[in-house]
């Protein structure tokens, strides 16, 4: 056993939670160690999550757009074909560039890195298990940022061949003929989009009454229509009954909403039913770190401290949405708190984005939540088909919905399905962060012609003042 020197903080896991916490702690003058078992930095997000999925979404979108829309722009693109190997290697290059970038950032911030499995030995010591022996890392504070892994369905165990998880589905070596996706959440709809665009006959089996449960119902219906336009068949309130396997294919049987048993032939079945926090072998039980019994997430106080003094936890391991930007902000907050600064995360203004086409993005309360919470609100909707930029760009599907409290006009939520929704949502996030109103957005000058004018028009529509919509639409 080799014992290293003492660090102010030791972080286990180098995903967006862990590496961002490390950089911020180093900026604040702390000596920092990061332990990562993957062999490279960046966690789920950079290696097998956000980045490779967006690379595949962008490549597949280019292929699909060329085939489906170029002709009406007067561009003839005959003989379109897919070179899947090139598509995959481009994705790998994007991932490698970003992973190398994180390594360079850790180095330039003088952060010490250890490659191996980190295990909590005591409240101030992490043991790093490496092929060459164990290393003991002493630290004033320990931050756990070990993220999450795909949840499993016992009836459909992932074999990485026929039944795959999201990691496998980002690296298939051929386009499936029949892809069945179990789970119509964010991963389900994004990866169904990728493979449907590339030619797979794709079905989604979702147990709840809408896709991506929790999302604004009107947006979910609109998303469902756009996915149907890609040829994806969606079965809501459906349950998998049985999987009859042959050598390389299967017939998945599901009970649909109307009680029928429907056969889904498949040469790939993607299990996308959520993710579970990853604490396996972490040693949290040794030091009495409490987990939430139903979710398995590590319980933390407002300062991210676990039930073991000196040990903190952030990211997918703890409460809240499993999102990279949420993990990053918690990484910054915990580092600032350790430095005696007032770090915090505003959980009311965390945006969610689904990178379908059109994209979906939202922040704040839904209309359903406003009703449930007895909030008196006004809603304004503006459709992209009345937005000049969207028409010019041939991206006129979708709408923006703005919700504001009656009386105070405080912005409660903004829900977008449409072009560049992922970028447009930041205006709503910033306005809400400042406690702003629909009027604040409505009174701000938006460049013309831009998609962002639709956000402004929806804010005007809260009071029936949208300019480019007939009064009956408001």
Question: 474 is in the binding site of which of ligand NAD, ligand FAD, none (Cβ under 5 to 8 A by kind)?
Answer: none
* Residue 12: both structure tokens together: 């286990």
182 binds, among ligand FAD, ligand NAD, none (CB under 5 to 8 A by kind): ligand NAD
The binder of ligand NAD chosen from 187, 252, 266, 363 (CB under 6 A):
187
Residue 262, SS3? strand
Cβ(201)–Cβ(366) below 8 Å? no
For residue 6 the two structure tokens come to: 């003492």
The DSSP symbol for 298 reads: B
The label of the residue with tokens 């102010």 reads 8
* Torsion angle in degrees (nearest 10) through CA of 348, 353, 359, 363: 0
133 Cβ contact list (under 8 Å, min separation 6) = 1, 2
Cβ proximity to ligand FAD: between 61 and 242 the closer is 61
DSSP-assigned beta bridge partners for residue 275:
150
Of residues 123, 129, 208, 230, which one binds ligand NAD by CB under 6 A?
A: 208
Question: Is residue 243 a contact partner of residue 253, using CB atoms and an 8 Å limit?
Answer: yes
Burial of 448 (0-12, 13-18, 19+ CB in 10 A): exposed
Shortest CB 236 distance to ligand NAD, Å: 9
In the complex, what is the shortest distance from the CB of residue 36 to ligand NAD, in angstroms, rounded to a whole number? 20
Query: Which residue is nearest to ligand NAD, using beta carbons?
Result: 185
Q: Which of 37, 38, 207, 255 binds ligand NAD (CB under 6 A)?
A: 207
Single out the segment in contact with ligand NAD by CB under 6 A; choices: 114-122, 201-209, 409-417, 464-472.
201-209
3-state helix, strand, coil in the chain (%, to 5): 35, 25, 40
Residue 110 region by backbone torsions, left for phi larger than 0, else alpha for psi between -120 and 50, else beta: left
Q: How many residues does the chain have?
A: 474
Q: Which region, judged by CB under 6 A, interacts with ligand NAD, from 18-26, 61-69, 74-82, 273-281? A: 273-281
Residue 384 within binding range of ligand NAD, rule CB under 6 A = no
When the beta carbons of 106 and 354 are compared against ligand NAD, the nearer one is 354
224 binds, among ligand NAD, ligand FAD, none (CB under 5 to 8 A by kind): none
CB 63, min distance to ligand FAD, A? 20
From ligand NAD, ligand FAD, none, interface partner of 12 (C-beta below 5 to 8 A by class): ligand FAD
The option from ligand FAD, ligand NAD, none interacting with 386 (CB < 5 to 8 A, set by class) reads: none
Q: Could you say which residues in the range 311-340 bind ligand NAD, by CB under 6 A?
A: 321-323
| 320 φψ region: left (φ > 0), alpha (ψ -120 to 50), beta (else) | left
Q: Which residues are known catalytic residues?
A: 448
Q: How far, in Å, CA of 299 to CA of 319, rounded? A: 8
3-state secondary structure of 292: coil
Instruction: For residue 194, state whether it binds ligand NAD (rule: CB under 6 A).
Output: no
Question: Per-residue contact track with ligand NAD, 113 to 152, x per CB under 6 A?
Answer: ----------------------------------------
14 binds, among ligand NAD, ligand FAD, none (CB under 5 to 8 A by kind): ligand FAD
Measure the CA–CA gap between 358 and 341, rounded to whole angstroms: 40
Alpha-carbon Rg for the chain, nearest whole angstrom, is: 24
Report the chain's terminal Cα–Cα distance, integer Å: 70
Name the residue nearer to ligand FAD (CB basis): 16 or 413.
Answer: 16
- Of these partners, ligand FAD, ligand NAD, none, which one is at the site of residue 35 (CB under 5 to 8 Å by kind)? ligand FAD
- Count of residues in contact with ligand NAD, rule CB under 6 A: 25
Q: Where are the alpha helices (DSSP H) in 374-419?
A: 388-392
* Token couple for 277: 């926090």
| Smallest distance from ligand FAD to CB 315, Å | 2
Residues at the contact surface with ligand FAD, assessed by CB under 6 A: 12-18, 35-38, 43-45, 49-50, 53, 117-118, 145-148, 166, 187, 278, 282, 315-316, 322-325, 327
Judged by the rule CB under 6 A, the positions of this chain that interact with ligand NAD are 153, 182-188, 190, 205-208, 213, 240, 272-275, 321-323, 353-355
């Amino acid at each position: 056993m080799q014992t290293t020197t003492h660090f102010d903080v030791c972080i286990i896991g180098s995903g967006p939670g862990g590496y961002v916490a490390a950089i911020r702690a180093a900026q604040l003058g702390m000596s920092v160690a990061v332990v990562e078992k993957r062999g490279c930095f960046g966690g789920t997000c950079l290696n097998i999550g956000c980045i490779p999925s967006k690379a595949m979404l962008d490549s597949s979108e280019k292929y699909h757009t060329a085939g489906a829309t170029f002709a009406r722009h007067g561009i003839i693109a005959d003989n379109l074909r897919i070179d899947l190997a090139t598509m995959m290697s481009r994705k790998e290059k994007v991932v490698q560039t970003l992973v190398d970038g994180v390594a360079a950032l850790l180095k330039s911030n003088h952060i010490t890195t250890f490659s191996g499995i980190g295990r909590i030995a005591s409240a101030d010591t992490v043991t790093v298990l490496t092929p060459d022996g164990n290393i003991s890392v002493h630290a004033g504070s320990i931050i756990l940022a070990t993220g999450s892994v795909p949840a499993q369905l016992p009836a459909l165990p992932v074999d990485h061949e026929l039944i795959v998880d999201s990691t496998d589905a980002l690296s298939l070596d051929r386009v499936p003929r029949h892809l069945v996706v179990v789970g119509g959440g964010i991963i389900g709809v994004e990866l169904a989009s990728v493979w449907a665009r590339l030619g797979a006959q794709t079905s989604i089996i979702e147990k709840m009454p809408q896709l991506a449960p929790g999302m604004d119902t009107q947006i979910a219906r609109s998303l469902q229509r756009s996915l149907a336009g890609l040829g994806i068949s969606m079965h809501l309130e459906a349950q998998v009954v049985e999987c009859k396997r042959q050598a390389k294919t299967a017939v998945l049987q599901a009970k649909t909403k109307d009680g029928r048993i429907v056969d889904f032939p498949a040469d790939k079945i993607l299990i996308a039913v959520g993710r579970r926090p990853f604490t396996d072998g972490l040693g949290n039980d040794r030091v009495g770190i409490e987990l939430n019994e139903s979710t398995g997430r590590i319980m933390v106080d407002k300062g991210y401290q676990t039930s073991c003094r000196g040990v903190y936890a952030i990211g997918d391991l703890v409460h809240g949405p499993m999102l990279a930007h949420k993990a990053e902000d918690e990484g910054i907050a915990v580092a600032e708190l350790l430095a005696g600064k007032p770090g915090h995360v505003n959980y009311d203004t965390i945006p969610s984005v689904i990178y379908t086409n059109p994209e979906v993005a939202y922040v704040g309360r839904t209309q359903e939540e406003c009703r449930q919470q007895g909030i008196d609100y006004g809603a304004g909707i503006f459709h992209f088909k009345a937005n000049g930029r969207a028409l010019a760009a041939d991206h006129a599907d979708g709408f923006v919905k703005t919700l504001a409290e009656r009386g105070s006009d405080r912005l409660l939520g903004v829900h977008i399905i449409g072009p560049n929704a992922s970028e447009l949502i930041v205006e709503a996030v910033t306005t809400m962060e400042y406690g702003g109103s629909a009027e604040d957005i409505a009174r701000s000058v938006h460049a013309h012609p831009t998609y962002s004018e639709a956000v402004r028009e929806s804010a005007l529509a809260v009071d029936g003042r949208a300019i480019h919509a007939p009064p009956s639409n408001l």
